[in-house]
Each structure stands twice: as C-alpha cells, then as structure tokens.
Structure 1
Amino acid sequence: MDTILLLHGWPQTSHIWRHVIPALSTQYHLLAPDLPGLGTSPFATQYDTGHIAQLIKDYLDAEQVQQCHIVGHDIGGWVAVAFALQFESSCLSLTVMDAGIPGLMPLQMFQPGNAGKVWQFYFHAVADIPEILVIGKEEEYLNWYFSHKSYVKGTIDNEVYYKAYKGKERLAAGFNYYRAFNTSAEQNKAQLRKLKIPVMAVGGEYAVGENMRAVAKELSEAGRTVVIPDCGHYIPEEQPVAVVSLLREFLE
C-alpha cells in the first residue's frame, strides 16, 4: 500500500485533511503531521523550507517510509516542493495546492492590484510587529483569512485553528516561515530542475487558480494543472470530495 504524506498550510494544522483522510485510507497509508512549529509539533530551529524538508525526511525515516506521494497545501506546498527537489528519490509524485512557491511565484502575483492576496507575505516577514499586533486577537485575525480567502463559506473549522496559533510562540513559528521566504526562494532556485516524478498543481478558482500552471511548468515537462471550480484558497476543506476524486485519479 502506497503512502501519501499530507502537508497543511498556514494558518491551519493537519486538521485540514479530516475529510480527505477517511476517503483515501482504504487505498493508501496516510500520514498528516503538523508542520514543525505549528499545531502540536515541536518548534524548529530555523524555518527555511530546505531545513523543514530535512525534518520531514527525518520524520519519514522514523516512520520507516522510503517513498511516498507528497501533497502540500499553501506553505505545506512550499515544503513539498523543497522536499521533492532535495529528496526526489523518496517521492512517488508531487501535488501542490494553491501555493505561491518561494522562487517559483510568477512576478505578476506581486503587482499592486493583487495586494489583497499577497500582502501577508510582507507583513509576516517583518520582525516582531505581527506578534505585537495579533496577540490577543488571534481569532479575529485568522477569521479574516477564512472569511476573505474562502469561497465556500462555513466549511472551515475556525476555532481549531485560532486555538492552535494562540500565543506568541505559535504565532511566531507561523510567521517565521514567511520570514525565511527569501532564503527558501534562493534554495529552490539553486536546485530547480524538471522532476522525473509526476507533478500536479491545483488551484482554487477564486484563489491562485490558473497561476498554479507556472509551478507545474517549472517543475515538470509534463506537469498537470487543475483548477477546482467554486473554490477559494482552502481547497481540502471547501471541496474535499473534488480533492479525493482528483487525487485518486492522479495517483492511480
């Protein structure tokens, strides 16, 4: 039975896969850890995706998993790409969902007209200020994302996430992924090549959408791009049935 490694994004935890795991568990061995520093996972010493990818490799080694299909959403997609570039022989396939990958993001995503989608890349990268402004308002802050970046309302388990990010240490760990963005980008650029494994890039119609095509093109000669209709950024929660169907078809 093949293993699928599911990596969540910010500001969420492995809870995002709760509808996907039961449907795939009859065919696959599923692993869904919280990313280092997030949820219930131990904090990391650094948060560039090269380092985080090595921690994920250590986790897989501890689980005695030699190869897996790797699926990443949002910053989990950042880590998934870094992992595939560093440890391609450990990957059976790569699926990236609605993520602006460091070093691979199309420049047009940073145009002023797109500020509503990318402003957090700058804000979270600033030292200390995000924590000062967000501590005590974790619920309100995270709910802004879930409200503004989702299309299918009422599908996101908000309370689980703002409790997971409550307090300075957990907030800082999440922001540290963004603070390491430029380092992660340089690492990806240095290792960038066409992967030999199957690659699929998935976007929500009302989120990154067709811009995911650039990720597939950079990473594969035959990379597949899929846009899930009636969907915002939080694909595994907004359209879990579509995600399960798409993964089954792609992985088989």
Structure 2
Amino acid sequence: MTARINSELVFTCVAAVGLAASIADAGDRPAPEQVLHRTVTIDGLDIFYREAGPRDAPTVLLLHGFPTSSHMFRNLIPALSDRYHVVAPDYPGFGNSSAPDVDEFEYTFDNLTRVVERFTEEVGPTKYSLYVMDYGAPVGFRLAVQHPERVQALIVQNGNAYDEGIANDFWEPIKAYWDDPTPERKDALRGLLTLEATKWQYTHGVRNVETISPDTWGHVQPLLDRPGNQEIQLALFYSYGSNPPLYPQWQEYLRTHQPPTLVVWGKNDAIFPAAGAHPYKRDLKEVEFHLLDTGHFALEEEGAVIAGLIRDFLGRRVAD
C-alpha cells in the first residue's frame, strides 16, 4: 500500500518523536567519528570538504546553501557519522574553497554542479543520499538527473524544485534582474550581501533567537566581504534564473525514479516558504514530510530533530 507520511499537524508532536528517536538511538550507538577537514584539487581549484564516518558505510552527500558553506553541517556530520560516511564540500567561492574572480571562473549552477560531480568522482562516493538545501537543490537535482543511478535517497531541507517555492515577494527583485540585468538592478541586490541580511537569514522565523549562535554570521560575513566575492554572489543570483526552466525536468526525475525522499522544511522560511515543500507530494508516491516550526537554516534550531529523522529514514530506506 502506498505510504504517505504527512507530519504537518502539530510541531510539538514532530519534535517529540524526532527527539525521542534521536535520544533512543544515541543510547545504543558508538561515539561519532572524528570529523576530518580536507582539500582536494578539482580542475585547478582547491575544494575544501568535511568528511567523517566509515568509508564502507552508506554515503550522505551534504550540499550547502547560500551564503554559508559546509560549516552549516558542522553539528549534523558528527550526529550521523557513527553509521554513515558523511561528506560535505564547499563550492567554489564559498567557505574554504578557492574563490577565483568572476573573470577567471564562470559562476553558474552548471559549473558548480560540474565541480561537485568531479569532486564526488575524485573523493569516491559513487552512490550517495543527497541532502539538498537552498543552493544545494539546483546542484543536487542536476546531479540526480545526470546520474540517477548514484542517488540512493533524497533529504530536502528548504530546497526548491517548484514554481510555488519562488512565488513570494523575496524573489521579485531577483526575478527583475533575471529579466533585465541592468547595473541598477544588480546593485539593488547588494543589500542581500550585508551583515544585516545575513543575520536575518539565520534568525527570521525561528522560535527563539537566543538559540541561534552569532558564530554563524560571524563565520559567513567575513567570507562574503572578501574582495571580489560580491561579484561572485551576484553572478550566482543571476544564474539562479537558469533553475526554474529546469524544474519540469527535475520533477520528471522524481516521478520516474521515485527516490526515497525525506522532506524536513523550516515552515517559517521567508526565502523558500512551505508553499515550495508541498508540491513534492504531487510527484513522489512515498514521501516522508515534516514541516518544522523554524526558519531558513532549520539545522540551527532543530538540528537534533532533523538528525533523528534522518537516521530513522535512512535506517529504513537505505541498506548498509
């Protein structure tokens, strides 16, 4: 019988179940593996990544969002690494990876995907479960379409693949830039690269702002403020316009291949609202669906819940 798990009812029930599973699981499992911080050269670029867990275990490939890096997974990696091989790269222009100027590297989502594809082939996870968040979704879905045989499962956390997910006011000035990339429209987007905007991404929609560490924007903002990085990010804002035309292709991938999918979504996200989460249920016959009462970077406030849900999901859906 087709199963469809919908956990939208009451957040406290979701949190209680997730935390209980996580706590019960923790009592039986060994200590997490040490997280290693590594760099590999891909097409002349130094690509930094975090890695932990046994290499013969199922791999979870974590793909980060804007404006962060693999740093967003700093707590999730050890929470999974006793049982899974967990790998989280930084894209070019982000985190500790190379950040060549825009005249030296074409910052498009096609190119980010190419680098991540080469990264997986170099580092070695030939099959993996994909965790896609924000920018990780267009990278991850490109990978999935190109190599469906490599994807064992999907974990979607505020990662969009539907027009409904970008129909809100946040996207209006960005869409205007896609339609007519004038210098004025480009400059209007620089406000998204400020400390105020970065802090807003981490704190908007959370239940308790005191749970959000300032180390988050303290890590991100100095990287955004590097010389030349604004132009990198603005190039990717423009390239994001290449993603909506691919949504039908990504949705066809979901309908055709029916990857086991866990949706864990911060429902108060003003960038990718819950309206973009629900359509996954149209295309997937079996989807485990959880709306969490938090914002864009759901791991910051609900990391323990999400880790528990992932462990339960992968334990049932991905063979060791």
The TM tier, using the shorter chain, reads: 0.7 to 0.9
Match of 2:312 in 1: 249
What's the counterpart of residue 118 of structure 1? 171
In the TM superposition, what is the alpha-carbon distance from 1:182 to its structure 2 partner? 2.7
Task: Give 1:141 shift.
Answer: 3.2
Question: Where do residues 14-29 of structure 1 align in structure 2 (5 Å cutoff)?
Answer: 14-29=70-85
Match of 2:96 in 1: 40
Q: Distance in 2 between matches of 1:53 and 1:181?
A: 13
Which of 242, 253, 261 is equivalent to 1:199? 261
Opposite residue 212 of structure 1, the aligned amino acid is: A
1:148 aligns with 2:212: no
CA distance, structure 2, for counterparts of residue 80 and residue 169 of structure 1: 26
Q: Does 1:226 align with 2:269?
A: no
Q: Under a length normalisation based on structure 1, what TM-score does the superposition of the two structures give?
A: 0.83
The 1:236–1:245 alpha-carbon spacing in structure 2 relative to 1, beyond 3 Å, is same
2:243 match: secondary structure: helix
The higher radius of gyration belongs to: 2
Could you say what the CA RMSD is over the residues aligned between the two structures, in angstroms?
A: 2.7
Q: Which residue of 1 aligns with 2:119?
A: 59
How far 1:152 moved relative to its partner?
3.6
Q: CA deviation at 1:197?
A: 2.0
Match of 1:170 in 2: 229
Shift of 1:10: 0.9
* CA distance in structure 1 between the aligned counterparts of 2:314 and 2:70, rounded to whole angstroms: 21
The code of the aligned residue for 2:240 comes to F
Deviation at 1:191, TM superposition (A): 5.5
Aligned partners of 2:63 and 2:88 also within 8 Å: yes
Q: In the alignment, is the contact (CA less than 8 A) between 2:204 and 2:295 conserved in 1?
A: no
Question: How many percent identity over aligned positions?
Answer: 20
Q: Is residue 151 of structure 2 the alignment partner of residue 88 of structure 1?
A: no
Count of aligned pairs between the two proteins: 242
Q: Is contact 2:173–2:189 with CA below 8 Å preserved after alignment?
A: no
Gaps of 5+ in 1: none
Gap change, CA 1:212 and 1:161, over 3 Å in 2? same
Correspondence for 1:212 among 267, 274, 277: 277
Unmatched tracts of structure 2, length 5 or more: 1-56, 316-320
Greater shift after overlay, 8-17 or 118-127? 118-127
2:4 match:
none
Residues 216 and 38 of structure 1, relative CA distance in 2, 3 Å threshold: farther
CA pair 214-57 structure 1, distance change in 2 beyond 3 A: same
For the structure 1 residues 241 and 62, does the alpha-carbon distance in structure 2 shift closer, same or farther, using more than 3 Å as the test?
same
SS in 2 for 1:93: strand
Aligned to 2:17: none
Asked whether 1:139 is paired with 2:201, we answer no
For residue 232 of structure 2, what is the amino acid of its counterpart? A
CA distance in 2, matches of 1:215, 1:172: 33
Superposition TM-score, scaled by structure 2 size: 0.67
> In 1, distance between residues paired with 2:231 and 2:207?
28
Match of 1:78 in 2: 138
**SS of corresponding position for 1:176:** helix
Instruction: Note the C-alpha offset of 1:46.
Output: 3.5
Secondary structure, in 3 states, of the residue corresponding to 2:277?
helix
* Runs of 4+ with >4 A deviation: 123-133
CA distance in structure 2 between the aligned counterparts of 1:52 and 1:217, rounded to whole angstroms? 28
